[in-house]
């Protein structure tokens, strides 16, 4: 059996979602979230050919982006409806003060 290496991440799976945004300093940032083992794992990089770095404590803004993307995929029947509820649950465990709009 093969083993998992961060440098060979394959983003073709439907349980993998990525987005781009600007930091407060105006720097470009790519974020990638992967559903693995019942949890969402987050990675980030600044440039296209940079290596993905694990985000151990993704900020609330990244959780909101993930939830938005998951909800869009649920609407297109690419993910099961329970997945958005799992994201909300995990998000609220990490950020209990967060306000989340219902589906």
- The reply to whether 73 falls in a domain is yes
Instruction: Dump pLDDT digits (tens) for 10-53.
Output: 444 567 999 999 988 998 999 999 999 889 999 999 988 999 99
Instruction: Dump pLDDT digits (tens) for 74-84.
Output: 999 999 999 99
Tell me which residue range forms the domain holding 71. Answer: 15-94
> Kind and range of the H or E element at 65?
helix 60-75
Place of tokens 């609407």: 75
Based on the structure, what is the number of domains in the chain?
1
Closest CA to 52 of 4, 14, 7: 7
- The reply to whether 43 falls in a domain is yes
pLDDT of 8 > 80? The answer is no
Q: Which residues pair with 54 in a beta bridge?
A: 43
What number of H helices and E strands is found in the chain? 2, 4
- The reply to whether 99 falls in a domain is no
For 81-90, what is the mean pLDDT? Answer: 94
- The reply to whether 37 falls in a domain is yes
- The reply to whether 76 falls in a domain is yes
């Amino acid at each position: 059996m093969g083993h998992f290496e961060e440098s060979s991440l394959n983003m073709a799976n439907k349980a993998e979602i990525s987005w781009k945004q600007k930091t407060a300093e105006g720097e470009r940032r790519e974020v990638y979230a992967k559903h693995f083992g019942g949890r969402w794992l987050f990675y980030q990089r600044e440039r296209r050919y940079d290596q993905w770095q694990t985000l151990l404590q993704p900020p609330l803004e990244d959780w909101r982006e993930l939830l938005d993307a998951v909800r869009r995929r649920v609407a297109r029947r690419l993910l099961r409806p329970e997945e958005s509820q799992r994201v909300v649950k995990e998000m609220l465990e990490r950020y209990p003060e967060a306000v989340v709009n219902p589906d």
